[in-house]
Amino acid sequence: MCPHNTHWTCQFVSLYICKIPSHLPITQKMEKIHHNYVNVRGLKLHFAEIGTGPVVVFLHGFPEIWYSWRHQMIAVADAGFRAIAPDFRGYGLSELPTYPESTTFKDLVDDLLDMIDSLDIHKVFLVGKDFGARVVFHFALLHPNRVLAVATLGVPFLLTGPGTFPQDLLPKGFYMLRWREPGRAEADFGRFDTKTVVKNIYILFSGSELPAAKDDEEIMDLVDPSTPLPAWFTEEDLANYASLYENSGFQTALQVPYRAWLEEYGVEDIKIKVPSLLVMGEKDYALKFGGLEHFISSGMVKEYVPDLEITFLPEGSHFVQEQFPEQVNQLIVNFLNKLV
């Protein structure tokens, strides 16, 4: 059996190869995606995989999981690439670390290095969304000889460390500040079932305003229970996300990214030296995060990422890869094709 989930059937080859049960609400194309496990630094980590050719590794954000890359994985596989989308440690079907509250961004970088080494992959294209973008850049800074190019969605390159967090420019009740407080998000989330928590976060993060609560509110209180899901996000999608977070819980997710956010890259040369792509939705709330829109549109970001293409999608939210999959697929495939 597959670790963590008795509803998944497995066949042992060189890794665990899992076939998605037919009763799950997954399209026929997604049934071609294999679900594998590999031992990485003492943990059994899950990754989804499809296609053959140059390797593209997709790194998820929060409240996402490998599943958030379903459209892009199929697209790059059809274009002649091998798509791999792991669940970070403590997320989804990957094993929970013994001390999730001690997890760091560097752990995720080291996990990725060990994973591609275990799979005998020397160089990769990296694609990251939300805090997965930060892992992409961290990895590219520490292991530049292993990276062919990078693409990020929803988050550009950002400096790290205590002095770089724009706390004075953010509302007092901003969700990142609230969730950095040990125990606060746990108590907030604990009032609801997992499916409702994921639904509320997707609704909040699909908006164009920074999610911030008043003094007498918690972040979950910002969503009216009658608010529908975004039009591009189905009940089946929600059920898939909910089942994966029911498996993993939110312990690691609250630690990384939120409580580990001030962690530094640990390198002196802060420059990404490979071709890079940034895709942002024009209605992404993240653009209002501490002057982020000016940082991108003024070209300041290119001080750290010189070879950078930037594309804004006019109606795009924070979830552009799920909201406009065909457009994002084409942007990523075109970017990759120019480099092979």
The pLDDT mean for the chain works out to 92
Percentage of residues of the chain with pLDDT beyond 90 = 88
How high is the pLDDT of residue 49?
Answer: 98
Instruction: Please check the confidence at residue 196 and state whether its pLDDT lies above 60.
Output: yes
Which listed residue (111, 130, 237, 284) is catalytic? Answer: 130
Look-up of token digits 């040990």: 182
> Is position 16 annotated as part of the catalytic site?
no
Q: Count Cα neighbours of 134 within 13 Å in the Cβ-side half-sphere.
A: 22
How high is the pLDDT of residue 166?
Answer: 84
What's 207's DSSP letter? S
Give 23's pLDDT tier (boundaries 50, 70, 90). Answer: very low
How high is the pLDDT of residue 338?
Answer: 97
pLDDT in tens, 30-81: 889 999 999 999 999 999 999 999 999 999 999 999 999 999 999 999 999 9
pLDDT in tens, 100-142: 999 999 999 999 999 999 999 999 999 999 999 999 999 999 9
Instruction: Please check the confidence at residue 6 and state whether its pLDDT lies above 90.
Output: no
pLDDT in tens, 295-323: 999 999 999 999 999 999 999 999 999 99
Instruction: Please check the confidence at residue 289 and state whether its pLDDT lies above 50.
Output: yes
> Is position 241 annotated as part of the catalytic site?
no
How high is the pLDDT of residue 2?
Answer: 40
Helices (H), 169-311: 175-180, 184-189, 194-205, 235-248, 251-253, 292-297
DSSP code per residue over 54-70:
SEEEEE--SS--GGGGH
How high is the pLDDT of residue 91?
Answer: 98
Q: Which residue has the higher pLDDT, 15 or 292?
A: 292
pTM: 0.91
How high is the pLDDT of residue 7?
Answer: 32
Which listed residue (35, 60, 138, 318) is catalytic? Answer: 318
3-state helix, strand, coil in the chain (%, to 5): 40, 20, 40
How high is the pLDDT of residue 163?
Answer: 85
How high is the pLDDT of residue 194?
Answer: 98
Instruction: Please check the confidence at residue 272 and state whether its pLDDT lies above 60.
Output: yes
Q: Which residues of 215-229 are buried (b: 16+ CB within 10 A; e: fewer)?
A: eeebbbebbeeeeee
- How far apart CA 27 and CA 139 sit, in angstroms, is 32
- How far apart CA 55 and CA 35 sit, in angstroms, is 16
Provide the token pair at 189: 């989330």
Is residue 71 within 8 A of residue 329, CB to CB? The reply is yes
Instruction: Please check the confidence at residue 179 and state whether its pLDDT lies above 80.
Output: yes
How high is the pLDDT of residue 25?
Answer: 40
Percentage of residues of the chain with pLDDT beyond 70 = 92
Which listed residue (245, 258, 265, 304) is catalytic? Answer: 258
At 240, give phi and psi (nearest 5°). Answer: -65, -45
Instruction: Please check the confidence at residue 22 and state whether its pLDDT lies above 50.
Output: no
Strand ranges across the sheet with 147-153? 9-12, 16-19, 34-40, 43-50, 82-86, 55-59, 124-129, 147-153, 276-281, 308-313
pLDDT in tens, 148-175: 999 999 999 999 998 888 888 899 999 9
Is residue 277 within 8 A of residue 284, CB to CB? The reply is no
How high is the pLDDT of residue 178?
Answer: 97
> Is position 265 annotated as part of the catalytic site?
no
How high is the pLDDT of residue 27?
Answer: 64
